[in-house]
Amino acid sequence: MPEAVRIVDEPIAGAGTVPLLAVSGLNAWYGESHILHGVDFGIAEGEVVTLLGRNGAGKTTTLKSIMGMVERRQGSIRFAGTETIGLPSNRIARSGIAFCPEERGIFASLNVKENLLLPPQVGPGGLSVDQVFELFPNLKERQASQGTKLSGGEQQMLAIGRILRTGARLLLLDEPTEGLAPVIVQQIRRTIERIKAQGFTILLVEQNFRFAATVADRHYVMENGRVVDMIPNAELESNLQKVHDYLGV
Amino acid sequence: MTEIFGVPTQALFGQLLIGLINGSFYALLSLGLAVIFGLLNIINFTHGAQYMLGAFFAYFLLNKAGLGYWWSLAIAPLASGAFGMLIERTMLKQLYKLDHLYGLLLTFGLALIIQGLFRNEYGSSGLPYPIPEELSGARNLGFMFLPNYRAWVIFASLVVCVGTWFVIERTKLGSYLRAATENPALVQAFGINVPRMITLTYGFGVGLAGLAGVMAAPIYQVSPQMGADLIIVVFAVVVIGGMGSIMGSIVTGFALGLVEGLTKVFYPEASNTVIFIIMAIVLMIKPAGLFGTQR
């Protein structure tokens, strides 16, 4: 098994700056199941970084651990220099991290606008409702509809638009393109490019590395609950065989 | 004397009024149960005892502190709610990850303990609580006499129920509550302090029971058993309306009070069982209740 990549509060290899998020020796458990076995990686401010890996590698658990949604965690997660490993998820969110879950988390009892307005603002620099509607015009047309009556693509737009409002500095997106039509995937890609240009930092979990290659600066590869490799996007082409081996494609 | 379906109007409207009064208490109590069940997933069997506590708080405030009905109306729900929050923080909190049954057993046990303590101290017979002076007397509506205090109970209960519905369904605070009912972990990950919201929600639900207890004190007298007698009917109301449904508990509470009143007029023998017959029929046709959704 390749050695884990250790990155703490040091300049990030391939990014050349002190990380906004530094994960070090992260272990996590669901009940008795030990899922993460010492995850180490970092993200610099303004970067888009992906976690690649097969199903069950621990990508989603890593996001949930950063967000404080996994009960039993050990190790260190420093965000903007502050340790968050012992904080409850509401305080982690208030520190400036927002999470968009794989299943999108649209609330059936709330309409589109209520879903959009649900997360409180945690900092300056978030998009206004009008800006979200400009980004995703479909949502404006359907703002009075029940959240779960939207198509899968529209629900994904709502889930992303919802966290863009909060002013969080770091966005955690879990499989934002899963199950979506190619035209919607393109729209999500353009959105990520646009919010990256606005200075948001994004940690993206993706199985579709072809999509990841169009938006990310760097890729961390996870296997068996560890980060086993880091590939800068510029070197992805020359490492395609390695990526194929990691992902089993 | 004017008659409707062979029944004198005075008798008919008198029973409908009693039905509405009962319905007001059914609605207030089932609303509290619905709010609690929605967020905490706990069937709060202590609700009847908490209703009784509200009435006793009013009784103590009057007899020990000299504070009358209007003071009680403000203080007793707050005191009941605070007691509820203490129960939530110290006991219910431990049960959220377990089966519903554990919450039911704990709250049922607590109800028995609270009622037992009060019965031991105050006996089973009711203690009198006077109607406030401002609301004594009655007015002649032409077709019936309407006691002022009963009109006030119906009015206040409607205002509280509609107000609660409005807050839950039409405000930002309510949207947090509805969202947390569906997915509390995600709502917390958005930055909302869900454990605190759960404590306050339980306190609010218990506060509603306490308020109902204060309003009931001048009508039914203050007795350790007053909650136990009522709570079984209220659970039937909740099942008919749909567990956790806010609108369901309000509409069903008032409607079943009226149905009970009408049954007393036309077929008195069935008046004590009609709600349970309706419950059985609703369970067969729509198991999630008239306004409920399958969880």
CATH number at residue B108: 1.10.3470
Q: Is residue B134 included in any domain, yes or no?
A: no
Q: Which domain holds residue B183?
A: 3-123+146-285
B182 touches chain A (CB under 8 A): yes
| Smallest Cα distance from A205 to chain B, Å | 17
Read off the tokens for B108: 């049922």
Architecture of domain A1-95+206-249: 3-Layer(aba) Sandwich (3.40)
Cβ within 8 Å, pair A166-B191: yes
ipTM: 0.90
Q: Is residue B139 included in any domain, yes or no?
A: no
Read off the tokens for A178: 């899963």
User: Looking at residue A145, what is its pLDDT?
Assistant: 92
How many residues belong to chain A? 249
User: Looking at residue A243, what is its pLDDT?
Assistant: 86
* DSSP output for B163-192: HHHHHHHHSHHHHHHHHHHH-HHHHHHTT-
Q: Choose from A65, A89, A162, A164 for mutation: most chain B CBs within 10 A.
A: A89
Q: Answer for the pair B10, B144: CB distance below 8 angstroms, yes or no.
A: yes
Give dist(CA B114, CA B124) in Å, integer.
13
Please say if the pLDDT value at position A188 is more than 50.
yes
* DSSP output for A168-185: -SEEEEESTTTT--HHHH
Please say if the pLDDT value at position A8 is more than 60.
no
B chain contacts of residue A105, beta-carbon cutoff 8 Å: 183, 186
> Which chain B residue is nearest to residue A103, measuring alpha carbons?
B186
User: Looking at residue A7, what is its pLDDT?
Assistant: 42
User: Looking at residue B260, what is its pLDDT?
Assistant: 94
Cβ within 8 Å, pair B192-A89: no
Question: Rounded to 5, what percent of chain B is helix, strand, coil?
Answer: 75, 5, 20
How many residues belong to chain B? 295
Domain limits of chain A? 1-95+206-249
Question: Model confidence over A66-76: pLDDT tens digits?
Answer: 999 998 999 99
Q: Is residue B130 included in any domain, yes or no?
A: no
Per-residue pLDDT of chain B (295 residues; tens, 9 = 90+): 677 777 788 888 888 999 999 999 999 999 999 999 988 888 999 999 999 999 999 999 999 999 999 999 999 999 999 999 999 999 999 998 888 889 999 999 999 999 999 999 999 888 999 999 999 999 888 888 889 999 999 999 999 999 999 999 999 999 999 999 999 999 999 999 999 999 999 999 999 999 999 999 999 989 999 999 899 999 999 999 998 889 999 999 999 999 999 999 899 999 889 999 999 999 999 999 999 876 5
User: Looking at residue A1, what is its pLDDT?
Assistant: 38
User: Looking at residue A14, what is its pLDDT?
Assistant: 53
> Which chain A residue is nearest to residue B176, measuring alpha carbons?
A118
Question: Rounded to 5, what percent of chain A is helix, strand, coil?
Answer: 35, 30, 40
| Smallest Cα distance from B191 to chain A, Å | 4
Question: Model confidence over A15-37: pLDDT tens digits?
Answer: 556 689 999 999 999 999 999 99
Interface of B with A in 147-176 (CB under 8 A): 172, 175-176
Q: Is residue B133 included in any domain, yes or no?
A: no
For chain B, how many structural domains are there in total? Answer: 1
Interface of A with B (CB under 8 A): 67-69, 88-90, 92-94, 98-99, 101, 105, 107-110, 114, 117-120, 122, 166
Q: Which of B163, B164, B155 is CA-nearest to residue B254?
A: B155
B190-216 b/e (C-beta count within 10 Å ≥ 16 → b): bbbbbeebbbbbbbbbbbbbbbbbbbb
Count chain A–chain B contacts defined by CB atoms under 8 A.
Answer: 57
Nearest by CB to A67, which of B175, B187, B189? B189
* Residue tagged 């007053």 (tokens): B226
Q: Is residue B98 included in any domain, yes or no?
A: yes
Cβ within 8 Å, pair A117-B187: no
Within chain A, where are the H helices? Answer: 59-66, 89-94, 112-117, 129-135, 137-141, 152-164, 182-197, 209-215, 240-247
User: Looking at residue B212, what is its pLDDT?
Assistant: 97
Residue type, A39: V
